[in-house]
Structure 1
């Protein structure tokens, strides 16, 4: 049973238009992609962590959802540490491995950069509902309704594909053919899933055509996709975080534009 706290956790972000969440993620991560320095990444990460309690995402939910980012960031940093730029004093040298002042600085910057880009993106995507996103893309960005609805229908089928895969695996186990030949079994199950997907896709296409989803007339929408003060406030927060991070990097002389490398 889901607790009432968990149900209410993402409620603050849920009324915000998904396009504003995507825009805020771009505003935060965009400038960080243009530079490799530890100051801008560290400042952005600290500001994002300070804003998390006000975004309606509980800390337990936050750590669970962002765990892959926290795992990937050190791995990226270690690879840069061992094989990155050689500069200054060399501390370890063995075959292709060379740890120096330059590789250490670049590894720290890479680790913080991955966290500063990945964490806000995950936090903002947690509460995005696919239907709300489709409404925003069609009503606000004026994307073709046929493309938006087709993508939404395809996204909704991802869960069914996972269930089909589990059903195929259980069926093969019941017949006693799932205990050996893993590569061959995977290929057979993948082909079976492809056949099921094509059949389900054909039925879905016919059903959507029958409901006039492929019509040439301009569609109406059951739910409005408002974009007002709350959305602009979220965009302002994202712009403020990136501006403060970039300003701190420039003032400390750590700004390292990747195009100048």
Structure 2
């Protein structure tokens, strides 16, 4: 269940993972993804995907939001599988061959591994990042990861301004149409509007930078924070889960001899 909070512009989620530290979510997504990138076998990806299901259910996303956010993965996974099945490296029995298309046991196994791997890597990354508030992430990066506050706050301000681009584009389109400018030719009109939007973004960025400097955002001394970054046991548990999922997946692949290290020979030989 989600509801919009008018005073802060945030979406409050009821899932137990949603209130966790933004840095913990980022670390968990990376810990799950990086080990799975090193292998391309269906067993490790399937084990990881199965273990990720409770993580996805506890993130606090509604069913509609989940399917909308992850729709690109459900499209990309089968498309990548079809491509690998048709043009992947052939091995074993060849079932169909025509011109550059060759479907074999090896290409089919590789296609299945690729599809499951895309889901196992992409789903937790998308679901965890959806619940991350940019301000919380900036606080964690500056206070806990010790990144330069000037860089972090500047990036946060830029991200907050991204939402204005769509409004500016619509306003420019209406203004140009009211003046009868570039009524014909979509390409010409699009180039002109893109240039105008670029100039407007530069002006707004310069004004924002001046305002931030005037408020002491670039000061040399230690700065204070309106919201201190917090890390509790729940954040540690989430990171540990992010370590255990790929560890279990890789262990299963090695034990059953399906581990296929993409930078070297596989265990299966």
The answer to which structure, 1 or 2, has the higher relative contact order (CA under 8 A, 6+ apart) is 1
The separation in 1 between residues aligned to 2:15 and 2:39, in whole angstroms, is 34
CA contact (8 A) 1:10 1:127 kept: no
Counterpart among 227, 232, 240 of residue 228 in structure 1: 232
CA contact (8 A) 1:91 1:99 kept: yes
Describe the shift of the 1:116–1:11 C-alpha distance in structure 2 as closer, same or farther (beyond 3 A). closer
Instruction: Tell me which residue corresponds to 2:75.
Output: 71
Instruction: Tell me which residue corresponds to 2:6.
Output: none
Instruction: Tell me which residue corresponds to 1:241.
Output: 245
The separation in 2 between residues aligned to 1:216 and 1:202, in whole angstroms, is 21
**What's the CA shift for 1:178?**
5.6
Q: Which moved more, 1:131-140 or 1:42-51?
A: 42-51
Describe the shift of the 1:80–1:202 C-alpha distance in structure 2 as closer, same or farther (beyond 3 A). same
Alignment of 1:112-261 (within 5 A): 112-177=116-181, 180-260=184-264
CA contact (8 A) 1:169 1:178 kept: no
Structure 1 length as normaliser, TM-score? 0.93
The separation in 2 between residues aligned to 1:179 and 1:100, in whole angstroms, is 54
- 1:91 counterpart = 2:95: yes
CA deviation string 1:48-82 (max 9, x = no partner): 12332223223332222111111111111111111
Q: Could you tell me which runs of 5 or more consecutive residues in structure 2 were left unpaired when the two chains were aligned.
A: 4-11
The separation in 2 between residues aligned to 1:245 and 1:217, in whole angstroms, is 47
Instruction: Tell me which residue corresponds to 1:6.
Output: 2
SS in 2 for 1:216: coil
Q: Which moved more, 1:22-31 or 1:147-156?
A: 22-31
SS in 1 for 2:108: helix
Deviating 4+ runs (over 6 angstroms): none
SS in 1 for 2:90: coil
Q: Which moved more, 1:159-168 or 1:29-38?
A: 159-168
CA contact (8 A) 2:183 2:189 kept: no
Report how many aligned residue pairs link the two structures: 257
CA deviation string 1:203-230 (max 9, x = no partner): 0011001101111111110111111211
- 1:17 counterpart = 2:21: yes
Higher helix share: 1
Q: Could you tell me which runs of 5 or more consecutive residues in structure 1 were left unpaired when the two chains were aligned.
A: none
Alignment RMSD (CA, Å)? 1.5
Q: Which moved more, 1:112-121 or 1:173-182?
A: 173-182
